[in-house]
Structure 1
Amino acid sequence: MKGLDRITFDPNIMGGKPCIRGTRVTVGAILGLLASGTNKKEILELYPYLEEEDIDQALAFAAWKVEEIEIYDPKIKEVA
């Protein structure tokens, strides 16, 4: 998504999960902390190398991601 320059994907870091600026901090980790009641200030204390904009972009990425539409095609079989 355009404008999310702090969200990176690297198959060699956390298995390619979306991370914050190439660190091992995943978007999911940030969202989990926020969902459990941790505020931005506390997250920045836990991860002093992050910036407030990193958290904002993690939220923006998550909002964009949940709005994606997946189309089911019965001809395509998932590999288990």
Structure 2
Amino acid sequence: MKDFERITFDPKIMGGKPCIRGTRVTVGTIVGLVAEEYSFEKILELYPYLEKEDIHHLLNMLPGGLMSLGNPSQLYENFN
């Protein structure tokens, strides 16, 4: 079983979508940015309250990892 220490699920926040550590930043938002080839540094500029480890953690939570999915741009639709 995977550890969700940096990903939270709360029906009162963003309609229960998975978010980073209780923020209103959804997993789908970050996965979408990664799929659009945003660097971790750029994502952290956009969301300065996140940590690089947050991004690493959520990408490692994906089944098989991000690169095994073939077309990562479809991730945004699946997680957002």
TM-score category of the 2 structures, normalised to the smaller one: 0.7 to 0.9
Residue type of the alignment partner of 1:22: G
Distance in 1, Cα, partners of 2:13 & 2:60: 21
Report % sequence identity: 64
| TM-score with structure 1 setting the length | 0.73
What are the Cα deviations for residues 17-43 of structure 1, in whole angstroms up to 9, with x where unaligned? 110000000011000000001010000
Which one has more relative contact order, counting CA pairs under 8 Å at least 6 apart?
Answer: 2
The structure having more radius of gyration, on CA atoms, is 1
RMSD: 1.3
List runs of 5+ in structure 2 lacking aligned partners.
Answer: 65-80
Structure with the largest fraction of helix:
2
Q: Please list, as runs of the form range in 1=range in 2, the aligned pairs for 1:17-28 lying within 5 A after superposition.
A: 17-28=17-28
Task: Give the match for residue 33 of structure 1.
Answer: 33
Corresponding residue pairs, total? 64
